[in-house]
Amino acid sequence: MPKTAQKGLRLSPDEAMDLKRVAEEEGRSEPEVARESIRMYIRMHDEHKEFVDSVERGWYQLRTGLGKSEEEHDGFMASLEKEMSE
């Protein structure tokens, strides 16, 4: 059985009603819905962080000469370079 941690989560009345409504509509318990919501939020956060990290790596590589731009996206890169030089 997984180890659990009790968190002092306090919901506003509206949040509690929404949680109860979703749990009833899905035929699940409120704690199940809350745990799934937290997992979804964490997954979304991690994916967003990976995307931002990837963009930062790409910019670093382009600025240091380690990366290369694709020829078919020439206009896009030119506009970015123009903005960066202003």
Which tens digit of pLDDT belongs to each residue from 27-66?
Answer: 999 999 999 999 999 999 999 999 999 888 888 887 888 7
pLDDT, residue 39, reads: 96
The structure's pTM equals: 0.62
User: CA 53 to CA 30: how far, in whole Å?
Assistant: 34
58: Cβ–Cβ under 8 A, 6 or more apart, which residues?
67
Domain segments of the chain as ranges: 13-85
The tens digit of pLDDT for each residue in 5-15 reads: 777 889 999 99
